[in-house]
Structure formats: structure tokens, C-alpha cells
Structure 1
């Protein structure tokens, strides 16, 4: 099983220097994860 929250935290820390996504809201977690996947597909 993937660690979605950990991947989001790592991505945001690497790209923004801090975690901005509200990890308590499932919809925001899913939206950010799909954003990250989309970026990986396009690169």
C-alpha cells in the first residue's frame, strides 16, 4: 500500500519548502495526489 500522505509531504517540502495541503481533508489529499501523478505522467 502506498503512503499517499508521505508522498504529498515529501513533494510539497521539496517543491515549496513546506506542506500546504490540509491533510485532514480527504478531498484535498486526493486532489494533490492526482496533481502529483499528473506531473509525473507529463514528465
Structure 2
């Protein structure tokens, strides 16, 4: 494999993993993950 192909592959992997990490951080920061589970409602 040529050097330019290796560099392009590394850049593509960095972009993909970086985007995934930013998406997870964004979801955690805005509380979207924690708000998905609601406490059970007990009407007595």
C-alpha cells in the first residue's frame, strides 16, 4: 500500500471515530441518555 493511501485511511478513521465520540459526548451533555428511562409511576 502506498503512503498516501495509508495517510488517507488514517484520516478517514480519525474523522469517523472523532464524529462518533462527539456524538456520544453531545448526547451525554444534553442528558438525552439519562432521560430515556423514567421512574415507574405508582398511583395508589
Answer yes or no: same fold by TM over 0.5: no
- Normalising by the residue count of structure 1, what TM-score does the alignment of the two structures yield? 0.43
The structure whose Rg is larger is 2
- Normalising by the residue count of structure 2, what TM-score does the alignment of the two structures yield? 0.42
